[in-house]
Structure 1
Amino acid sequence: MKDILILGAGTSGTMMANKLSKALKSDEFRLTIVDKDETHYYQPGFLFIPFGIYSKEDVIKPKKNFFPKDTNVIVSEIDLIKPEENKVHLSSGDVLSYDYLIIATGTEIRPDEIEGMTDELWKKSIFDFYTIEGALALAEFLDDWEGGKLVLNIAEMPIKCPVAPLEFLFLADDYFKKKGMRDKVEIIFVTPLDAAFTKPIAARELGNFLEEKNINLVTEFNIGRVDNEEKKIISWDEREVEFDLLVTIPTNMGIEAIEKSEMGDELNFIPTDNHTLQSENWENIFVIGDATNLPSSKAGSVAHFESDVLFENLLSHINGEPLTASFDGHANCFIESGDGKGLLIDFNYDTEPLPGKFPIPGIGPFSLLKETKMNHIGKMGFKWLYWNMLIKGRDLPLESQMSMAGKIVPEKEEQETKTLQL
Structure 2
Amino acid sequence: MRKKVVVLGAGIGGTSAAYELREVLGDEAEITVVSDTPWFHFVPSNPWVAVNWRKPDDIKVNLPQTFARFGISFSAAGAARIRPEENSVDLGDGSTLVYDYLVIATGPELAFDEIEGFGPGRNSYSICHVDHAAEMARKWEHFCADPGPIVVGAVQGASCFGPAYEFALLANTDLRKRRIRDRVPITFVTSEPYIGHLGLGGVGDTKGLLESILRDKDIRWITSARVDRFDSDKVVVSEVNADGGVGKVHELPSRLNMMIPAFRGVRCLFDENGKPIDGLANPRGFVLVDRHQQNPKYPNVFGVGVCVAIPPAEATPVPVGVPKTGYMIESMVTAVAQNIRDAMHGATPKKEASWNAVCLADFGNSGVAFVALPQIPPRNVNWAGKGYWVHLAKIAFEKYFLHKVRKGKSEPIYERVVMRLLGISKLRG
Bin of the TM-score, shorter chain as denominator length: 0.7 to 0.9
State the partner residue of 2:331. 305
Native 8 Å contact 2:330 2:412 kept in 1? no
Native 8 Å contact 2:401 2:413 kept in 1? no
Percent of aligned pairs with the same amino acid: 23
Q: CA deviation at 1:33?
A: 1.7
Native 8 Å contact 2:155 2:191 kept in 1? yes
Taking structure 1 as reference, are residues 325 and 290 closer, same or farther at Cα in structure 2, changes over 3 Å only?
same
Deviation digits for residues 277-299 of structure 1, max 9, x if unmatched?
Answer: 11132111110011111355223
State the alpha-carbon separation in 1 of the partners of residues 325 and 26 from structure 2.
31
Question: Superposed, which structure 2 residues align to 1:179-328 within 5 Å?
Answer: 179-198=178-197, 199-200=201-202, 201-228=205-232, 231-235=234-238, 237=246, 239-242=249-252, 243-260=254-271, 262=277, 263-273=280-290, 275-295=291-311, 297-328=323-354
State the partner residue of 2:369. 344
Determine helix, strand or coil for the equivalent of 1:382. helix
State the partner residue of 2:360. 334
Deviation digits for residues 113-140 of structure 1, max 9, x if unmatched?
Answer: 212225xxx5575211222232222222
Determine helix, strand or coil for the equivalent of 2:259. strand
Taking structure 1 as reference, are residues 96 and 399 closer, same or farther at Cα in structure 2, changes over 3 Å only?
same
State the partner residue of 1:414. none
Structure 1 gaps of 5+ residues are: 357-367, 408-422
Determine helix, strand or coil for the equivalent of 1:152. strand
State the alpha-carbon separation in 2 of the partners of residues 46 and 25 from structure 1.
34
Which letter maps to 2:95? Answer: D
Q: CA deviation at 1:354?
A: 9.3
Length, aligned pairs only:
386
Deviation digits for residues 281-332 of structure 1, max 9, x if unmatched?
Answer: 2111110011111355223332222212222222222223233222231121
State the alpha-carbon separation in 1 of the partners of residues 151 and 225 from structure 2.
13
Deviation digits for residues 256-277 of structure 1, max 9, x if unmatched?
Answer: 111235232233211122x311
Deviation digits for residues 317-363 of structure 1, max 9, x if unmatched?
Answer: 22232332222311211111332x2221111234579999xxxxxxx
Native 8 Å contact 2:289 2:295 kept in 1? yes
Determine helix, strand or coil for the equivalent of 2:214. helix
State the partner residue of 1:418. none
1:138 counterpart (136, 139, 145): 136
State the partner residue of 1:83. 84
Taking structure 1 as reference, are residues 150 and 259 closer, same or farther at Cα in structure 2, changes over 3 Å only?
same
Taking structure 1 as reference, are residues 25 and 247 closer, same or farther at Cα in structure 2, changes over 3 Å only?
closer
User: Is 1:152 aligned with 2:152?
Assistant: yes
Native 8 Å contact 2:80 2:91 kept in 1? yes
User: Is 1:129 aligned with 2:145?
Assistant: no
State the alpha-carbon separation in 2 of the partners of residues 223 and 272 from structure 1.
31
Taking structure 1 as reference, are residues 283 and 158 closer, same or farther at Cα in structure 2, changes over 3 Å only?
farther
Which letter maps to 1:241? Answer: E
State the alpha-carbon separation in 2 of the partners of residues 281 and 393 from structure 1.
32
Q: CA deviation at 1:65?
A: 4.1
Native 8 Å contact 2:369 2:385 kept in 1? yes
User: Is 1:15 aligned with 2:16?
Assistant: yes
CA RMSD after TM alignment: 2.7
State the alpha-carbon separation in 1 of the partners of residues 123 and 302 from structure 2.
41
State the partner residue of 2:393. 378
Determine helix, strand or coil for the equivalent of 1:222. strand
State the alpha-carbon separation in 2 of the partners of residues 19 and 328 from structure 1.
17
Taking structure 1 as reference, are residues 86 and 355 closer, same or farther at Cα in structure 2, changes over 3 Å only?
closer
State the alpha-carbon separation in 2 of the partners of residues 144 and 398 from structure 1.
36
Taking structure 1 as reference, are residues 128 and 17 closer, same or farther at Cα in structure 2, changes over 3 Å only?
same
Taking structure 1 as reference, are residues 327 and 23 closer, same or farther at Cα in structure 2, changes over 3 Å only?
closer
Native 8 Å contact 2:108 2:265 kept in 1? yes
Deviation digits for residues 155-196 of structure 1, max 9, x if unmatched?
Answer: 233434x31111111111111111112221111111111112
1:395 counterpart (394, 401, 411): 411
Which letter maps to 1:380? Answer: I
State the alpha-carbon separation in 2 of the partners of residues 99 and 136 from structure 1.
38
Q: CA deviation at 1:104?
A: 0.9
Deviation digits for residues 348-397 of structure 1, max 9, x if unmatched?
Answer: 234579999xxxxxxxxxxx522222221111111211111267343247
Which letter maps to 1:239? Answer: V
* TM-score normalized with structure 2 length: 0.82
Native 8 Å contact 2:289 2:296 kept in 1? yes
Which letter maps to 1:139? Answer: A
Taking structure 1 as reference, are residues 355 and 17 closer, same or farther at Cα in structure 2, changes over 3 Å only?
closer
* TM-score normalized with structure 1 length: 0.83
